[in-house]
């Protein structure tokens, strides 16, 4: 992939000039790309939309999983070393948008290493407040990174408004899950429509809702609940789905590896997982 081609592609599919102005919300962003993969146009668009004026972004490239099958791209000890040129190309695309993308990182994964854990640890060391990636293990990644993670689907045949104009947030009434609602309001600002799905195991006893809130009767099966959340967001034509995490207490419904992880496995739209404040 040539840098000039990447910049041209981003300009051609970039945000519409008539989109409403938006204030950036994140200051330290990590954009994850895959060695040899397609240009993550949606990630570039989101980084452009959500970066504060003084924000700094870095690009981390993951080695192509296929390269490990024949030893290509591996160094000593079975460490897979990606081609940094891919990250540099995306970094130049970010710079063309006015995002200060000062560095590119090549993640060198040992055989059997967990990619999400490696990304998260790197992001945490760097002090990131947002990671953008196409890895569906975002609950694990968010836990390691200790920051919000945006999942961007690899299938970009359907166009979503960026910045999102219709934001769908799902939460219960726990303090940590409500962090997602707060973040959704912050991202929506004055320009986006916001709808909240209140999850309740007893819909009849759920608190009164306003016009922007719906109640989802939650079965005690995270897979069924995940499908219900994704379906409701899709029926509302959401551009972005937001969910929160929970404490690791035994009674927590929104803990890591639970509902958020299940939603990430089935979501085909951008999904932001918000890490609760301790």
Closest CA to 104 of 125, 122, 90, 118: 90
| CB-based contacts of 96-99 (< 8 A; 24+ apart in sequence) | 96/7, 96/10, 96/11, 97/10, 97/14, 97/44, 97/47, 97/48, 98/48, 99/29, 99/47, 99/48, 99/51, 99/55, 99/57
Last residue of a domain, one of 151, 181, 209: 151
Residues 173, 114 within the same domain:
no
Of the CA atoms within 13 Å of residue 79, those in its CB half-sphere come to: 9
Q: Is residue 158 part of a domain?
A: no
CATH number of the domain that 181 lies in? 3.40.50.620
Lowest mean pLDDT among 11-15, 180-184, 218-222: 11-15
143 and 16 part of one domain? yes
CATH code, 78 = 3.40.50
Same structural domain, 141 and 224: no
Which of 109, 128, 151 is the last residue before a domain boundary?
Answer: 151
156 part of a folded domain? no
pTM: 0.82
Per-residue model confidence (pLDDT) at position 152: 94
On whether residue 85 sits in a domain, the answer given is yes
How far is the C-alpha of 230 from the C-alpha of 219, rounded, in Å?
15
Q: Which distant-in-sequence residues (6+ apart) come within 8 Å of 132 by Cβ?
A: 29, 30, 31, 32, 40, 43, 46, 47, 149, 150, 152
Pick the closest to residue 53 from 24, 30, 86, 76 (CA basis): 24
Query: Of 151, 175, 192, which residue is a domain's last?
Result: 151
For residue 181, is it within any domain?
Answer: yes
Residue 123 lies in a domain: yes
Distant-in-sequence, close-in-space partners of 189: CB < 8 Å, separation ≥ 6? 22, 23
Tell whether 46 and 145 lie within a shared domain.
yes
pLDDT band at 10 (very low <50, low <70, confident <90, very high): very low
Q: Are residues 11 and 99 in the same domain?
A: yes
Q: What confidence tier does 173 reach under pLDDT thresholds 50, 70, 90?
A: confident
Q: Are residues 95 and 197 in the same domain?
A: no
201 and 106: one domain? Answer: no
pLDDT band of 129, cuts 50, 70, 90: very high
Q: Are 83 and 61 in contact (CB under 8 A)?
A: yes
- Asked whether residue 9 falls in the same domain as residue 143, the answer is yes
Tell me the residue range of the domain where 100 lies.
3-151
**If we measure between CA atoms, which residue out of 29, 23, 5 comes closest to residue 101?**
29
Q: Same domain, yes or no, for 20 and 105? A: yes
Is 161 part of a structural domain of the chain? no
Does residue 160 fall inside a structural domain?
Answer: no
80 has pLDDT over 80 = no
202 and 64 in a common domain: no
**Domain tally for the chain?**
2
Pick from 8, 5, 12, 66: which is nearest to 34 by CA?
Answer: 66
- Dump pLDDT digits (tens) for 131-172: 999 989 898 899 899 999 999 998 766 789 999 999 999 987
How many Cβ atoms are within 10 Å of 217's Cβ, its own excluded? 13
Mean local confidence (pLDDT), 204-210: 58
- In this prediction, residues 89-114 reach a mean pLDDT of 85
Q: Report yes or no on 157 lying in a domain.
A: no
Q: Are residues 88 and 195 in the same domain?
A: no
Residues 170 and 140 placed together within one structural domain of the fold: no
Q: What percent of the chain has pLDDT over 70?
A: 69
Contact of 108 with 79, CB cutoff 8 Å: yes
């Amino acid at each position: 992939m040539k840098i000039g081609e990447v910049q041209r592609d981003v300009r051609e599919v970039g945000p519409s000039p008539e989109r409403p102005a938006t204030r950036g919300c994140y200051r330290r962003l990590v954009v994850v790309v895959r060695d040899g993969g397609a240009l993550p146009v949606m990630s570039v668009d989101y980084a452009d939309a959500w970066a504060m004026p003084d924000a700094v972004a870095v690009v981390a490239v993951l080695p192509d999983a296929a390269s490990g099958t024949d030893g290509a791209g591996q160094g000593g000890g079975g460490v897979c070393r990606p081609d940094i040129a891919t990250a540099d190309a995306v970094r130049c695309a970010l710079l063309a948008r006015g995002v200060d993308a000062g560095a590119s990182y090549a993640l060198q994964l040992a055989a059997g290493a967990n990619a999400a854990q490696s990304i998260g640890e790197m992001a945490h060391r760097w002090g990131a407040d947002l990671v953008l990636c196409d890895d569906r293990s975002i609950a694990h990644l968010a836990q390691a990174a200790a920051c919000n993670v945006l999942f961007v689907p690899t299938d970009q045949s359907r166009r979503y408004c960026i910045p999102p104009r219709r934001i769908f947030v799902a939460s219960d009434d726990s303090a940590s899950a409500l962090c997602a609602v707060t973040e959704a309001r912050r991202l929506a600002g004055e320009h986006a429509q916001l709808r909240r799905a209140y999850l309740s195991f007893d819909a009849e006893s759920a608190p009164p809702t306003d016009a922007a809130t719906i109640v989802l009767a939650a079965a005690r099966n995270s897979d069924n609940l995940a499908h219900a959340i994704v379906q409701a967001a899709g029926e509302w034509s959401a551009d972005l789905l937001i969910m929160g995490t929970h404490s690791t207490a035994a009674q927590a419904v929104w803990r890591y590896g639970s509902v958020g992880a299940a939603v990430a496995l089935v979501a085909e739209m951008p999904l932001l997982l918000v890490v609760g404040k301790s």
